[in-house]
Amino acid sequence: MEFDFNTYVKKMVSKEDIDQYSKELENIKKKFSQGYPELCWYDMGKYVDNQELKRMIQQADDLKRISDVILIIGIGGSSMGAQATIQALSPYFRRRRPEIIFVGNDLSSEYLIDLQNYLREKDVSIHVVSKSGNTMEVITVFELFQSWMYKKYSTEEVKRRIVVTTSSYDGKLMYYATKYGYEKFHIPNVISGRYSLFTPATLFSMALADIDIISFLRGAKEGRIYLNQAGIYAMLRRIFFDHGKVIEGFAIYEPKLSKMVEWTKQLFAESEGKNEKGILPVKLIYTRDLHSLGQFIQEGNPILFESTISIMKTRTFQVEKYQETLSNINHIIEKSVCQAHLDAKCPTLLMKIEELDAYHLGELAMFFMMSAAMSSYLFHVNPFDQPGVTKYKEIVGKNLRSI
């Protein structure tokens, strides 16, 4: 990876700004080498060993062999990581077998009815993911499809076709897995859902999509060398916030990274959005959004800064009009936009990955996870809880019990 936290930030950050947070940042970085349990994702080798990886790959191969469609049922951290990595690392128009369909992100009965109709003549398997084992949306959708599966297949056949991933030993998912003998994978209990990218919650789903999870984890492990850059990124975000820039636009020029930005949005928003603090993340898909939100960024309320993810090497072809490749034209636009937005007092933090493959995506994911944790510490909030989410769940539960 390469980073440019200077070219498109010029004169918007002073030495005094940096001095304000430098000592605190150094103390925060030390946490990553001190064995804090909630930071265990920083060294997932302690939790996901080679035997576990082999078991995931073998189980994924078994499901792929018998399935036309695999449903991945989850929400939030139990789904976004898998959606992000699978979209980023899959061809745009591949006719995949098995087809991967994500469900549990909403409770649309229209969608679920159409989905069941679509699946009527197909062989179906399920990977259901919930860290708590009790997430309302996930359990509701899983119970619906579990019942549907038992009408479609024999008891033994359903047992072959359902895999459960959870951390809880007393949640509903573990109850079903134990009762019916489903294959199980475990999420370490100390890991928050949005930091579970390097656990079976995401890795098993990636294996179902034929993604090289070994290379992904190797990239994540080696991505730890960017701890200092992740700290600088976190500190600059905090400084921008002090300057009234309360919105961060995650900008991409490759739509395959769209779900990756959705994962990043959850990572930062849920980690640091507490005690009336934090930065609101939004997604900017360029060049599309230059023709909609671009006007606001250029001349509207100056409350936004950008974090741009750039891919240095992509497949491409020649554009004769400009005697240039389309990829280079895209990069020229990228630099032009960064300069134009800087002129409008919208700074850009630039992160470059060499190419879009499992290894480099693992590096990028580790960078963002380290940054989100450090950024939250700089806001003096706990990066690993989500009391606001818990609050809405309590109200939903109370209203459902009153029906």
What are residue 103's DSSP bridge partners? 73
DSSP, collapsed to helix, strand or coil, labels residue 194 as helix
Integer Rg of the chain from CA: 22
DSSP 281: E
Residues 223, 370: Cα–Cα separation, whole Å: 10
CA distance 267 to 192: 10
* Class of residue 257 by CB neighbours under 10 A (exposed 0-12, middle 13-18, buried 19+): buried
DSSP secondary-structure letter at 109? Answer: H
CA distances in angstroms from 169 to 53, 174, 179, 184, 318, listed in the order given: 21, 6, 13, 11, 56
Strands 324-325 and 318-319: antiparallel
Burial classification of residue 292, based on how many CB atoms lie within 10 Å of its CB (0-12 exposed, 13-18 middle, 19 or more buried): exposed
Task: List C-alpha distances in Å: 161 to 132, 190, 201, 202.
Answer: 22, 28, 17, 18
Residues designated catalytic: 270, 291, 393
155 forms beta bridges with none
CB 310 within 8 A of CB 284: no
